[in-house]
Structures are given as C-alpha cells and as structure tokens.
Amino acid sequence: MLIGITGTPGTGKTAVTSLLESRTPYRVIHLNELIKEEKLYSEVDTERDCVVADMDLVERRVWEMADPNNITVLDSHLSHHIANSAIVLRTKPDVLRARLQKRKYSAEKVQENLEAEALDIILCEAVDWCDNVFEIDTTSQSLERTFDDVVAILEGLAAGQEDKLAARYRPGSVDWSEDFFDQA
C-alpha cells in the first residue's frame, strides 16, 4: 500500500517522514531526492531552478522500491499523484512564511507558495487524485504531535478504519484564504 505525505513546501513532509524512517518499520521514499538522483525527469527548468518529473518513470520506480508486505510512505508534494491515499500537511500562511524565509527563498517564491497554501491547491489535487485524503493542521502543534497523527493514520489505514480516520482528519477543516487575501 502506498501512502503519500504531501503538502506545500515547508509544511513538514520531510521532517515527519524522517522520523517515520528512524522510528517505525515503514519504508519511506523521498521522491524529490529519488527524481534528482536517478534523473527521473523530462526537463530542467533553469528559470525556476527545478526539474519537471517524468511521472511515468517515477511511478514505475516507486513500485519497484515499495515494500510488498507493508505500507510504503512517499514524501513529496507530488506523492498524491501516485499514492491512492494521501495525508496533506497544512500550515497557516503566516507561520509558513517564517519557515520559507529561513530557507532564503526569493520573495517571489515565498509568495507563490503562500498563495498555493491559502488556495488549498495541493489539497484539491489530492482530493481529485486519491480515494482517501486526510488533513493535518501543523500550525500550532509540535513536530512530535504531527508524527503521532501520521502514525495514527497509517495504523488506521492498515486496519481498514478509513471511516474512523475520515471523521478525525477530514479534509477542508482549515480555510486561510480570507485572512490571507484580506491582508494582501
């Protein structure tokens, strides 16, 4: 079973999946690293300093690497295009701004990501692509708490408790668009 941990850059996908890697038996694939290491892309976008992934190649490689006997977790803002279930990490734009500015992103790149978060872009894509979508608001909780939430979802999915999880982690629980665009 493939489960994607997705979300806007800076929402905590890598931080949480690194904890999963060190503390749980789940296999974790960091897709963005894999795409670069194995050149699973069709284009290099020099203007935006990124690559355009070849999703057919990526998907084929993921299935080769997946654990046949247990959940495999995909870390990437692209993971919901491959996995059937996705956990979308959310962060209020004000808090996300501070995290992205620490990375020395350009003002334009920060703004682009904040707008994507305020407009629920990744969440909407995940709802379009996946059968099961769960949302975790990381804004005012610790990384440890986010880790516990992710583990609860993985265990619930393994036990076939989708309905119980849907009640607790229902997508659409946050809406930052008004606050964000009023300030702009």
Are 74 and 83 contacting, i.e. CB atoms less than 8 angstroms apart?
Answer: yes
Q: How far is the CB of 77 from ligand ATP (least distance, A)?
A: 5
Burial class (CB in 10 A: 0-12, 13-18, 19+), 22: exposed
Nearer CB in complex with ligand ATP: 75/130: 75
- Is 104 labelled a binding residue? no
- Annotated binding residue at 103? yes
Place of tokens 């977790």: 73
Residue type at position 102:
K
What is the smallest separation between the CB atom of 29 and ligand ATP, expressed in angstroms?
13
Residue nearest to ligand ATP (CB): 12
Q: Is 146 annotated as a binding residue?
A: no
Residue 156 annotated as part of some ligand binding site: no
Distance CA 93, CA 56 (A): 32
**In terms of CB distance, is 89 or 165 closer to ligand ATP?**
89
HSE, CB side, 13 Å, CA atoms: give it for residue 103: 13
Least distance in angstroms from the C-beta of 86 to ligand ATP: 13
What is the smallest separation between the CB atom of 70 and ligand ATP, expressed in angstroms? 22
Residue 100 makes CB contacts below 8 A (sequence gap 6+) with 9, 10, 109, 110, 113, 114
Q: 160 among the known binding-site residues?
A: no
What's the closest the beta carbon of residue 95 comes to ligand ATP, in angstroms? 8
**Given the rule CB under 6 A, which residues bind ligand ATP?**
7, 9-16, 77, 99, 138, 141-143, 146
Distance CA 36, CA 29 (A): 13
Nearer residue to ligand ATP within complex by CB, 116 or 166: 116
**Residue 103, CA distances (Å) to 11, 109, 168, 180 in order:** 13, 11, 32, 21
Q: Say which residue the tokens 């305020």 belong to.
A: 118
Report the binding-site residues. Answer: 10, 12-14, 103
Report the binding-site residues for ATP. Answer: 10, 12-14, 103
